[in-house]
Amino acid sequence: MLLGFISLLLTVFQGLIGKVCIPHHLANYMLPCKLETGKSKSNHWQYFHQTTINGRRLLATNAGSDHCTRKGKVPMSSTEALHQLHIFIFVLALVHVIFCATTMILGGARIREWKAWEDSSISQGHSGHTRAQTEQYHDFKRRVIGHWRKSVVVGWLMSFFKQFYGSITKSDYVTLRSGFIKAHCPTQPTFDFHKYMLRTLEVDFKKLVGISWYLWLFVVFFLLLNIEGWHTYFWLSFLPLVLLLLVGAKLEHIITRLAEEAAARETGDQAQPVKPSDDHFWFGKPRLVLYLIHFILFQNSFEIAFFFWIWSTYGFRSCIMEKLGFIVPRLIIGVAVQVLCSYSTLPLYALVTQMGNMFKQGFFDESMQQLLDKWRERGRESHSSHSHSMTKQSFEVDHITEETTPADKRTISIIELSHPARAQESSP
């Protein structure tokens, strides 16, 4: 929907965009390749020259160029550039959907491995045995055993490296599950936490696969930064990796803080459940983690989509492609981000973000959610009709009161009008 709207906007406002003029020296500086003349022109310049001479004007005329020429300037964006931007937008959207689907499939497969832990916890809840849960709690508490582990620096370092190996253990899952159930549904110890977590992940997938308007602003900003000699996309490739590592470390550190708080409340050998709280998350908003993962996947998709778009349009040896030493690290980082996000960060997000003050959308199954939505709509309609009826009744009462004759020398209240018997008793 948004993709088609942006494409429509580019088509409608192409005339205005073409009339945006910039000086010659600025246009020569903001090129992705060094300006060349003569026989030494690169493949990119040859391609652009051919498409211009052959009249490949699919979206507009040369009105913008003539407008800028009269001012002694050049258009900021040519018709060919707008056409290629159209193509790149669709390539980026396609790559983003593929990457998000791949992340959800691989991450979902990792989360489904926890089903055995869920079945074991449910069976123990039916039987009433708590010994196994106590053992899992003591394993969970080992995260904070030792004086040196209480250091903030050491705690963050351990959280950083923990995301690469065994990011979620059985003791983590069982203890966090127990804390969630005791906080949100204490009367249902056999609550299927695993199924609920998968439902919330399906809801979040709709957010991940979408491309918000502010992400498209990033696209425009990144394209304008593609200036020869800056190696912008090489440095930008590190942005999703750094953010992903930071998010993973934060989620692991939240688990550590929950273990610290539970251990601090412990009295004797009595296990204490973890207490979910929004205070553990950045700015007290667990949903902020989802926005960061969304941006990470989008930025990674941008890097890969731009690579394949340049390759298919201008060729591998184009000056826009840069040198091989800049291409290989970008591709390696892109693959690393995809794998790490699928197998570590996304499962961590699915589990740890349940440790907020409120349960997430997806707490009820689809049929129950539909019934609740219908009940809410009926409540709104009933409230609206009731308010309308009360407003109409108040208007009629006011109308009757205003029509009272001065000879009566008496004011009849609303309560008296509501009780005719009282009105008759009060009359002479």
> Which band of pLDDT confidence, cut at 50, 70 and 90, is reported for residue 385?
low
Task: Encode pLDDT of 186-203 as tens digits.
Answer: 888 888 889 889 888 888
Contact 64, 17 (CB under 8 A): yes
What pLDDT is stored for residue 372 in this prediction? 55
Q: How far apart are CA 91 and CA 54, in angstroms?
A: 25
What pLDDT is stored for residue 240 in this prediction? 92
User: In Å, how far are 17, 64, 73, 121, 278 from 21, measured between CA atoms?
Assistant: 9, 8, 6, 67, 49
> Which band of pLDDT confidence, cut at 50, 70 and 90, is reported for residue 132?
low
Task: Encode pLDDT of 138-169 as tens digits.
Answer: 777 777 776 667 778 888 888 899 888 888 88
Encoded amino acid at 146, one letter: G
> Secondary structure of the chain: what % helix, strand, coil (to 5)?
75, 0, 25
> Which band of pLDDT confidence, cut at 50, 70 and 90, is reported for residue 417?
very low
Contact 252, 160 (CB under 8 A): yes
The label of the residue with tokens 């002479």 reads 428
Q: How far apart are CA 206 and CA 214, in angstroms?
A: 17
pLDDT: which is higher, 127 or 391: 127
Encoded amino acid at 371, one letter: L
92-118 as b/e: b if 16+ CB within 10 A = bbebbeebbeebbebbbebbeebeebb
Contacts 24+ apart (CB under 8 A), 233-237: 233/303, 233/306, 233/322, 233/326, 233/330, 234/322, 234/326, 234/329, 234/330, 236/299, 236/303, 237/303, 237/329, 237/330, 237/333, 237/334
For residue 360, give the DSSP letter. P
What pLDDT is stored for residue 55 in this prediction? 34
Encoded amino acid at 355, one letter: M
> Which band of pLDDT confidence, cut at 50, 70 and 90, is reported for residue 412?
very low
What pLDDT is stored for residue 1 in this prediction? 54
Which of 131-135, 207-211, 314-318, 370-374 has the weakest average pLDDT? 370-374
For residue 280, give the DSSP letter. G
Coil, helix or strand at residue 57: coil
User: In Å, how far are 33, 239, 308, 410 from 96, measured between CA atoms?
Assistant: 27, 17, 13, 76
Give the mean pLDDT of 317-325: 76
Average pLDDT, the chain: 75
Q: Which of 161, 158, 139 lies closest to 149, judged by CA?
A: 158
Q: How far apart are CA 338 and CA 326, in angstroms?
A: 19
pLDDT: which is higher, 5 or 321: 321
Contact 255, 352 (CB under 8 A): yes
Inter-axis angle of helices 238-265 and 131-141, to 10 degrees? 120
Task: Encode pLDDT of 331-349 as tens digits.
Answer: 899 999 999 999 999 999 9
What pLDDT is stored for residue 407 in this prediction? 41
Contact 135, 225 (CB under 8 A): no
pLDDT of 35 higher than 80: no
Q: How far apart are CA 281 and CA 257, in angstroms?
A: 11
DSSP one-letter string for 97-108: HHHHHHHHHHHH
Q: What would the two tokens of residue 122 be?
A: 């449910």
pLDDT of 276 higher than 80: yes
Give the mean pLDDT of 410-422: 37
The separation between the first and the last C-alpha atoms of the chain, rounded to the nearest angstrom, is 72
Encoded amino acid at 239, one letter: L
What pLDDT is stored for residue 310 in this prediction? 85
Proportion of the chain above pLDDT 70, given as a percent: 68
Q: Which of 342, 253, 250, 230 lies closest to 296, judged by CA?
A: 342
Q: What would the two tokens of residue 340 be?
A: 């790490």
> Which band of pLDDT confidence, cut at 50, 70 and 90, is reported for residue 60?
very low
pLDDT of 421 higher than 50: no
DSSP one-letter string for 172-205: HHHHHHHHHHHHH-TT-TT--HHHHHHHHHHHHH
Task: Encode pLDDT of 88-124 as tens digits.
Answer: 888 888 898 899 899 999 998 999 999 998 888 888 7
Q: How far apart are CA 216 and CA 128, in angstroms?
A: 53
